[in-house]
Amino acid sequence: MKSPKNPGKPGGNASAANFGKALDALKVGASTIGDIAGVFAEKERTRRALAEGHAQVRRAEEDTRQVGMKTYAEIAQIDAQVHGRKLDHIETMQRMSDAHAEEMARHRQRERVLDKLLESPHGDPEQLVDGLRALLPENRR
């Protein structure tokens, strides 16, 4: 006859099944711990990638700011050159206008002197010639 099973002690088959379940639970636990470690490792890689990405963005922003400052400086320099050339042009045009007005005034005076010479043959020609000579430019006297 078979001896009755002791309710406090598990049977041989039952202990092997429990041991297999315990091993499965340990495998799942180890896998879970590995997965959790993988999640933390991935989280750290993501944090580093984000930090590197932010650093690249900051470098690009600084480079852009430097290029912008350089461009603004070049624009200011070009504006200053244009303004200087414009002032030179205005001064040159004013000198030319003044010279033209002066030459036109001399021309009118010469014409008056010549008209007086032609109108009065009895006048003092020496005085009219001296007056005309005074109206000539320095290089033509």
Average pLDDT over residues 100-111: 89
pLDDT for 85: 98
DSSP assignment letter at 10: -
- How far is 112 from 89, CA to CA, in rounded Å? 34
Top-ranked range on mean pLDDT: pick from 10-14, 34-38, 104-108, 126-130? 104-108
Mean of all residue pLDDT scores within the chain: 82
Residue whose tokens read 């499965």 = 24
Buried b vs exposed e over 104-141: b needs ≥16 C-beta within 10 Å? eeeeeeeeebeeeeeeeeeeeeeebeebbeebeeeeee
Distances (CA, A) of 19 to 58, 74, 110: 57, 81, 134
Average pLDDT over residues 105-115: 83
- How far is 34 from 38, CA to CA, in rounded Å? 6
Average pLDDT over residues 68-88: 97
User: What is the pLDDT confidence band of residue 14, given thresholds at 50, 70 and 90?
Assistant: low
pLDDT for 39: 76
Q: Are 108 and 133 in contact (CB under 8 A)?
A: no
pLDDT for 1: 46
Q: Domain extents for the chain?
A: 14-140
Model confidence pTM above 0.85:
no
